[in-house]
Amino acid sequence: MASAKATINLKLKVWRQKDNKSQGGFKEYDAKNVSPDASFLEMLDAVNEELIKKGEEPILFDHDCREGICGSCGFMINGNAHGPQKSTTVCQLHMRVFKDGETLVLEPWRASAFPILKDLVVDRSAFDRIIKSGGYISVNTGNAQDANNIPIPKPDADEAFMSATCIGCGACVASCKNASAALFTSAKIQHMALLPQGQVERAQRALDMTAQMDAEGFGACSTTGACSAACPKDISLINIATMNRELLKATITKKEEHTGGGDG
């Protein structure tokens, strides 16, 4: 397959930063004889092998499945989250989209809620804390009724699924000028709001998850839609509209908290 295709040469300007406390900066590298069939990360692997042979530290980036589903990888290529191709994580980006002689600038996600750990790797644990604050349905193992007891209209199930395909990569935050996590948070809120199983905790979930999102230091939604445009899974802006509606409804209908009395 493709054995005869011409290879290309690229210049890379890569953000290098030793750790969270150190000052970072760009360093230039050559990527030579790159096969157009290689993935972007395989191109970086080859650059790293050369660095190791020269006794230098390889460029660090998060990655794992290399199939676009685990959400580990992600950095800016020439200012675009995950690079120039739509609906594509950087591990699924292939070198055939680049031209010989191009210069590529690689930078980590920039957001104060995503501190840089090293080179292109950032700490996205804020996302886990948002899920922990309410991105679940409280059902213990062993309590479930037969799965077909509650029919779910196919359009609802399909739409819930579309929201649930978010891989938590952080491209939405990185491409938002406010570094907002609205798309990520809203996708989980919409996923569960659409399902009958998610109804009991629906209002509280919206309140808790948005509160956690703010507490993590993510900015407000910029309403520009840059997040959805950069999303490798095409999570729609409708999720954010849903979140705003859910939050409004939950806030208005929130019951006063009662204290004391009654229980004996």
Partner 1 sequence: MSVKLDSKIPGGSIDEKWTKHKFNMKLVNPANKRKHSVIVIGTGLAGASAAASLGELGYKVKAFCVHESPRRAHSVAAQGGINAAKNYQNDGDSVYRLFYDTVKGGDFRAREANVHRLAEVSVNIIDQAVASGVPLAREYGGLLSNRSFGGSQVSRTFYARGQTGQQLLLGAYSSMMRQVDLGTVELYTRREMLDLVVVDGKARGVIIRNLLTGEIESHEADAVIVASGGYSNVFYLSTNAMACAVTAAWKAHKKGAYFANPCYTQIHPTCIPVHGENQSKLTLMSESLRNDGRVWAPAKQGDKRTANEIPDAERDYYLERVYPSFGNLAPRDVASRQAKYRVDEGHGALGEKAVFLDFRDSIKRLGEDKVAERYGNLFQMYEKITGENPYKQPMRIFPAPHYTMGGLWVDYNLESTIPGLFVAGEANFSDHGANRLGASALMQGLADGYFVLPYTISNYFANTKLEKITTTNDAFKHAANETQNDLNKFLSVKGSRTVESFHKELGHIMWEKCGMARDKAGLTEAISKIQNLRKEFHSNVNVPGEGKGINNELEKAGRVADFIELGELMCRDALVREESCGGHFRSEHQVDGEAKRDDEKFCHVAAWEWNGSADKTQTRHQEELTFENVHLATRSYK
Residues 201-260 that bind partner 1 (CB under 8 A): none
- In the complex with partner 1, the residue whose CB is nearer, 54 or 258, is 54
With residue 243 as reference, give the H or E element that holds it.
Answer: helix 238-252
140 binds partner 1 (CB under 8 A): yes
Site for partner 1 in 78-97 (CB under 8 A): 85, 87-88, 92-94, 96
The H-assigned helical ranges of 85-219 are: 125-132, 154-164, 171-175, 182-193, 202-215
- In the complex with partner 1, the residue whose CB is nearer, 106 or 221, is 106
Shortest reach from residue 230's CB to partner 1, in Å: 16
**DSSP label of 134:** T
99 binds partner 1 (CB under 8 A): no
- In the complex with partner 1, the residue whose CB is nearer, 176 or 192, is 192
Burial 179-209 (b: 16+ CB within 10 A, else e): bbbbbbbbbbbbbbbbbeebeeebbebbbbb
23 binds partner 1 (CB under 8 A): no
CA 185 to chain centre: 11
Cα–Cα distance, 220 to 183 (Å, whole number)? 11
Of the candidate spans 9-17, 151-159, 172-180, 222-230, the one that interacts with partner 1 by CB under 8 A turns out to be 151-159
Of the residues 25, 101, 151, 264, which one makes contact with partner 1 according to CB under 8 A? 151
Binding string, residues 33-62; x marks residues near partner 1 by CB under 8 A: --x-xxx-xx--xx--x--xx-xxxx-x-x
Shortest reach from residue 262's CB to partner 1, in Å: 25
Of 161, 158, 181, 157, residue with least CA distance to 170: 181
Q: Which residue has the tokens 């096969």?
A: 35
Binding string, residues 152-191; x marks residues near partner 1 by CB under 8 A: xxx--xx-xx--xx-xx----------------------x
- In the complex with partner 1, the residue whose CB is nearer, 85 or 244, is 85
Distances (CA, A) of 229 to 83, 103, 109, 191: 12, 23, 16, 20
The residue count for binding partner 1 (CB under 8 A) is 82
Cα–Cα distance, 59 to 69 (Å, whole number)? 22
Q: At what angle do helices 154-164 and 182-193 cross, to 10 degrees?
A: 150
- In the complex with partner 1, the residue whose CB is nearer, 63 or 243, is 63
